[in-house]
Amino acid sequence: KAGVTQTPRYLIKTRGQQVTLSCSPISGHRSVSWYQQTPGQGLQFLFEYFSETQRNKGNFPGRFSGRQFSNSRSEMNVSTLELGDSALYLCASSFDGTADLNGEAFFGQGTRLTVV
Amino acid sequence: AQRVTQPEKLLSVFKGAPVELKCNYSYSGSPELFWYVQYSRQRLQLLLRHISRESIKGFTADLNKGETSFHLKKPFAQEEDSAMYYCALWARGNNRLAFGKGNQVVVIP
């Protein structure tokens, strides 16, 4: 089956602009989580959506937001971009958001955002 | 809150030598621990999870609740093991994976 798809793969934006990233989960998966990956901080959790509802949120400013559609596809939006937002943004899909014996998070290849 | 610590950023080992990646966690409840691997130009993928007690690609990891550790080990490193390794903890009811900062492993031929 098709894996998690993230678009676009690469983005270059200038400070102050906004950006929207997209994530299509594996068919049948209803949970989508977003992570920011940087060399210094590793992977940091942004938020998780399940059935169009945000269930959990990490410690990121309000400039970072997201949503999920009825087909489970998710978008992440960052407004008023800052240089420090440059990172690889990963999304992960799972059936129901759990990672127990039967659960597993599958990751996309990420969107590389560069803010100049 | 849960926290995962991987103390060494970069680990260089010779092919055939043992490799051990340390992972310590902090969590008040009963954790689910994982190791994820990211090979060059590939997506992050699950390597193994503590609950299944499997050996994957020669790697094993044992959860030690007394020491709050979940170290990853392989007795004989191979060149194809060169990758970034992340230890992760999933807290039941929290619906998030907390990752350590990762270990870059370089296997020298």
pLDDT at A95: 83
Q: Is the pLDDT of residue A80 over 90?
A: yes
Query: Tell me: the pLDDT tens digits for B44-98?
Result: 999 998 877 778 899 999 899 899 999 999 999 999 999 999 999 987 767 788 9
Which region holds residue B75: left if phi is over 0, alpha if psi is between -120 and 50, else beta? alpha
Cβ(B2)–Cβ(B25) below 8 Å: yes
Chain A contacts of B34, Cβ < 8 Å? 99
Cβ neighbours for B43, distance < 8 A, ≥ 6 positions apart: A3, A4, A107, A108, A109, A110
The DSSP H or E segment spanning A91 is strand A87-94
Cβ(A34)–Cβ(A66) below 8 Å: yes
Q: Is the pLDDT of residue A62 over 90?
A: yes
Three-state DSSP string of B48-83: EEHHHCCCECCEEEEEECCCCEEEEEECCCCHHHCE
**Interface touch A56/B95, C-beta < 8 Å:** yes
**Smallest CA–CA distance from A110 into chain B, residue:** B43
Query: Tell me: the pLDDT tens digits for A104-113?
Result: 889 999 999 9
Tell me which of A104 and B100 has the higher pLDDT.
Answer: B100
Chain B contacts of A108, Cβ < 8 Å? 43
- Rounded Cα distance, A53 and A68, in Å: 7
Is the CA virtual torsion A43, B44, A11, A68 positive or negative?
negative
Preferred mutation among A10, A43, A111 to probe B, highest tally of B CBs within 10 A: A43
Closest CA to A40 of A82, A87, A81: A87
Tell me which of A98 and B88 has the higher pLDDT.
Answer: B88
**Interface touch A43/B102, C-beta < 8 Å:** yes
pLDDT, average across residues B25-49? 91
